[in-house]
Structures are given as C-alpha cells and as structure tokens.
Amino acid sequence: MAACRRIVCATAAYLKKFGTPKVPNDLTHHRCLLLRQTDSNFATWTFNKGRVTERIRVSGHLASNDGEVVKNWVLNHQGIMLRSEWDVSAEIGRKQLVQVLTDYTAAPGDIGAWYLPGAQKTARVAKFLDLLSDEFKGPQSWRLPS
C-alpha cells in the first residue's frame, strides 16, 4: 500500500555513553537491538547515500519479534534500533529518541494489508482497503522532516 521510511535511533544517554555512529559501518561497534520480522534477514541493515548502497551486518545482545519490546529497550538506553518512522516519530518529537545517520537513507519498510483469501471480495474489506490506500496518498502526521 505504501513505503515507509525507516530510521536509526537511540537515546541521547546511550549515544553519550557509546558514541554516535557517523557512517553505517560504525553500527558494527554498537549494541544494535534487533527486530525479527517474517523471514527477512533482520541483522542486515541496508543504507543508501546517493548511488552507493551499503549492507551492514549488525549484531546485538537483544532481539525480539515484538516492535514495542525493542522500542522499550531503546527507551531504556539498551542500544540502537532501526524502526519505521511512524513508530518512533512521536518519541523523536518529544526528544526521547535521537535520529542518527541522517545523511543516509535506510531501506524502506512496506505498509500492507493482509486478509484471508476471498475476503477482498466483500464490500467491507474493499472499503477498508480503499480507506487505507487513500490515507497513505496524503500527508501523514507522523512524517519527520526529510
């Protein structure tokens, strides 16, 4: 339905203690908190700068398949995470989290809708999918300045 920008962030306290990464390869020396999603290679983070793409294999002492758990670890100064902009924009706005590597663009995440086979034929599901599609065409309140 839409692509969602993903960003790297941590707390100011974590960055003060462990330093702020300046380039993606610096992440190999940080506590990256990992979110396991589907069958994706969750420990390889991809970044673009201009025409250059970098794939960084990160490691972390904590991993979860629950994004809220990972976000809470980060808010408790346990490391750095790569998350969808919509999930952390409020915390960045409140200065609870700091976005890092702003000169780089992380590979986007997809926003999609999943439903049971045959369900898209119902009027209710079709209307909901249209509503979601229209919502992502316009400006989103959770967008951070580029």
Of the candidates 144, 106, 75, 79, the one whose C-alpha atom is nearest the C-alpha of residue 7 is 106
CA 108, CA 47: separation in Å to the nearest integer?
Answer: 9
pLDDT tens-digit map of 44-74? 999 999 999 999 999 888 999 898 999 999 9
Q: What is the pLDDT of residue 28?
A: 95
For residue 47, give the H/E element and its range.
Answer: strand 44-49
pTM above 0.85, yes or no: no
Q: What is the pLDDT of residue 140?
A: 57
Pick out the chain residues at pLDDT < 70.
1-3, 38-41, 118-120, 136-146
Domain residue ranges in the chain: 2-110
Measured CA to CA in angstroms, residue 134 lies from 54, 77, 127, 128, 145 at distances of: 33, 37, 11, 10, 22
57 contacts 9 by C-beta, under 8 angstroms: no
* Topology (CATH level 3) of domain 2-110: D-Maltodextrin-Binding Protein; domain 2 (3.40.190)
126 contacts 115 by C-beta, under 8 angstroms: no
